[in-house]
Amino acid sequence: MKPETNIEEEIINRVANSALQVFDLEDYYPEGERVAIDISQWLWEGFVLREKDFREALKNYDWQQYEGKFVALHCSTDAIVPAWAYMLVTVFLQPFAKKITQGRAEDINVLVYQELLDGLDYSDYTGKPVIIKGCSRKPVPQEAYVVAAQKLMPFAKSIMFGEACSSVPLYKKK
């Protein structure tokens, strides 16, 4: 005769009870609209920078529309644009924009994450296994994962990527 078994055994969440620390880059995603400004709009025929006309166009432009936004400056044409031109646009934009960079719109997130990750205190992860969460609903740039791994390495006992149920081991302190 078989002994009776208790079917209603308690389900234990071993992940929640483990020392595993989740580092979710999505938690640090700064809210705000990302926009790109194409400076070719202020070049003669989109290609030639005439300084007097360029300065006048910038002076008369409505910069207030970029209030609180993350802005990437770029030129969509093959114009040769001197470095000072981007700097001058920045001077006009600075009082309104949250952050400015030269490059593609995607470059804004790289810059913002670099600054955010540089400013974090990672001491809470000292000697602990860490998983850098992989799936996100927000546009976390790949570069942010690379920076996060570098920042966590001096502190973490081990680093994995993905989810607790299926992670990829990346690093283990010797």
**What would the pLDDT profile of 46-64 be if each residue is shown by its tens digit?**
999 999 999 999 999 999 9
- The reported pLDDT for the residue numbered 105 is 84
What's the average pLDDT block by block, 10 residues per block, for the chain (174 residues)? Answer: 61 60 94 96 97 98 98 96 97 97 91 95 97 90 96 98 92 94
- The reported pLDDT for the residue numbered 53 is 98
- The reported pLDDT for the residue numbered 160 is 98
- The reported pLDDT for the residue numbered 94 is 98
- The reported pLDDT for the residue numbered 10 is 66
- The reported pLDDT for the residue numbered 13 is 46
Find how far residue 98's CA is from the centre of its chain. 14
Within 10 angstroms of residue 148's Cβ, the number of other Cβ atoms is 24
